[in-house]
Structure 1
Amino acid sequence: MHRISLALTGALLSFTLSAARAEAPTVRIGVITSLSGVAAQSGEQMKAGIDTWLHMHGASVAGKKLQVIYKDDTGPQADVAKRLATELISRDNADILAGFVFTPNAMAAASVADRAKRPMVVMNAAASSITGRSPYIVRTSYTIAQSVKPLAEWAYKTGSRRVFSIVADYAPGQDAHTWFSSTFTALGGTIIESVKVPLSTIDFSAYLQRIKDSKPDAIHVFLPNGQPMVSFMKAYREKGLDKAGIRFLGGEGWADDDVLSAAGEAMLGIYSAGFYSFSRPGADNAAFLEAFSKTVNGRFKPNFQAASAYDGMALIAATLVKTKGSAEGDAFMKAVKGYSAASPRGTVTIDSKTHDIVQTIYIRRIDKLAGGKYGATEIDRYDAVSDPSK
């Protein structure tokens, strides 16, 4: 009995070791995003974009398994993001860091990625300076300047001359105001007044009355995603700015389904600039929409954050193919250079010098689509737009 037991133990051990040797090695991707708190919806979009890519393309690349480890930063918490990045690398053995809804969080994690020489894929945070924090950072979302500069150019091209700028008083809002104003005035337009509102503002009625009294021909608006946008649009209609002929110019986010559904008819006819909306045409987006719907059981439609996260996974996979499965920092970043691929948003490439994305920025008008829902119609486009700040 003892000999049989030893024989069985030896056989089981041999089988286990053989199985372990046969099992594909793993590339661990540590995703830091907001799964709770004020930006939980953004985190949910990001996670759904990543999960959609995995459902469409599988969880193995170049002979390696892809393991995604999600960490919740709970919102704009730089110290939390830095701690999570450290834990992912030192405790969870993450080969790649990814995610980042907020700029401060990405900035904080950048020092960790740089020290560890691990690739870091930014899937949302939009301050231009992020990619300059480390040679190991690449971004698949956008920068504020990248979308706002074409918006200002289009506004001037189509007749706007006197614009009132209102933005939320935080770094992205300040970037939006700077780039819109500098571009618009360089072309010959005038910013008749600018206002920075507290980030927590949801009652815009007094500001909108002030705008109406100033009689601009357009307003440029940059606000956080979600409820602030909805509140602003309802007040915009209630104060009659649309009837006064003051057209609306916004950046990314205004074509998102949650904003359109909540604000309803108040969104009709506004203009925005950005790289993705769920209603954009094309076979790549149609396939993405179908797979995304299955991923989230039809609960919501993808927004620009989901598209960026999906493309972030596509970039990771394509780069691992080039490196034959290696996620070593220098090899990975060398392979990132020259990345170009089809995407739900159109063709995207990575600038080999800045590691920022180069993409089409679309000018969209919100219309009532088939079935009575509201969505974005692309009416103009600016191709191969890189970050103008670099």
Structure 2
Amino acid sequence: MTLKLMAAMAVSLATFAFQSRADVIKVGVIAPMSGPFSAVGQTWEGATKAYQKLNGTTAGGHTIEVIYRDLPEINPAQAKALAQELIIKEGAQYIAGLYFTPDTLAVAALAQEAKVPVVIFNASTSSLLEKSDYPLADLVHAAADGRAGGQVRAREERQERRIPGQRLRSRPRRRESL
């Protein structure tokens, strides 16, 4: 092993060990707390406070501190600036929230550079996970919502075309290949 590689490994391990022994784990949440989408940000904050009220503010012997920053509308430059402020000034070890995809894409590059995990609450473009090694997203809910909506619409269309007294089949008939 080269000296450079050994030094890099030592710094990485020291950083990991330091973070794992942190008394306070800071989570920075970037959310629309004001403006037209404020109900979303306020819901996230209310849900977090309710969870912490019921379950406490500690996990694994560490105190979890949640720091909120307001991003009222789509603004990638401001999203990146807020994430940078949370990471550098506030010492956030995790970033969460991010309602809009363009904002999330702007933060992904910073997260990659700072090696800070990002928990995406809403943005759901599948390419998000390719932009950084650190974003974590629940993209399943977006796909499931779309699938469920499509299934409901298909059912409605079948009902509209239905002849009174006709039974709907659960599976379409297969056509024989010629």
TM-score (norm 1): 0.34
For the pair 1:34 / 2:50, whether they are aligned, the reply is: no
Higher-helix-fraction structure: 2
Using the TM superposition, give the Cα deviation of residue 25 of structure 1 relative to its aligned residue in structure 2, in angstroms: 0.9
State the match for 2:126 in structure 1.
128
Instruction: Give RMSD over aligned pairs.
Output: 2.4
| TM-aligned CA distance change 1:75 to 1:58, over 3 Å | same
State the match for 2:60 in structure 1.
62
Provide, for residues 11-42 of structure 1, a one-character-per-residue CA deviation record: whole Å limited to 9, x for no partner: xxxxxxxxxxxxx7110000000111121111
State the match for 2:10 in structure 1.
none
Using the TM superposition, give the Cα deviation of residue 126 of structure 1 relative to its aligned residue in structure 2, in angstroms: 2.2
For the pair 1:160 / 2:160, whether they are aligned, the reply is: no
State the match for 1:350 in structure 2.
none
Using the TM superposition, give the Cα deviation of residue 160 of structure 1 relative to its aligned residue in structure 2, in angstroms: 2.0
**1:160 counterpart SS class:** helix
Using the TM superposition, give the Cα deviation of residue 124 of structure 1 relative to its aligned residue in structure 2, in angstroms: 1.4
Runs (5+) with no aligned partner, structure 2: 1-21, 162-178
Using the TM superposition, give the Cα deviation of residue 150 of structure 1 relative to its aligned residue in structure 2, in angstroms: 3.4
Runs (5+) with no aligned partner, structure 1: 1-23, 163-216, 219-390
* Maintained 8 Å contact 1:119/1:137: yes
CA–CA distance in structure 2, aligned partners of residues 59 and 71 of structure 1: 19
TM alignment of 1:61-140, pairs within 5 A: 61-140=59-138
Higher-strand-fraction structure: 1
* Counterpart AA for 2:157: S
For the pair 1:50 / 2:48, whether they are aligned, the reply is: yes
**2:74 counterpart SS class:** coil
* Maintained 8 Å contact 2:76/2:102: yes
CA–CA distance in structure 2, aligned partners of residues 146 and 131 of structure 1: 18
Using the TM superposition, give the Cα deviation of residue 86 of structure 1 relative to its aligned residue in structure 2, in angstroms: 0.8
CA–CA distance in structure 1, aligned partners of residues 139 and 55 of structure 2: 20
State the match for 1:300 in structure 2.
none
CA–CA distance in structure 1, aligned partners of residues 24 and 48 of structure 2: 17
State the match for 1:195 in structure 2.
none
* Maintained 8 Å contact 1:77/1:104: yes
Provide, for residues 203-244 of structure 1, a one-character-per-residue CA deviation record: whole Å limited to 9, x for no partner: xxxxxxxxxxxxxx49xxxxxxxxxxxxxxxxxxxxxxxxxx
State the match for 2:7 in structure 1.
none
Identity fraction in percent: 29
* Maintained 8 Å contact 2:126/2:139: no
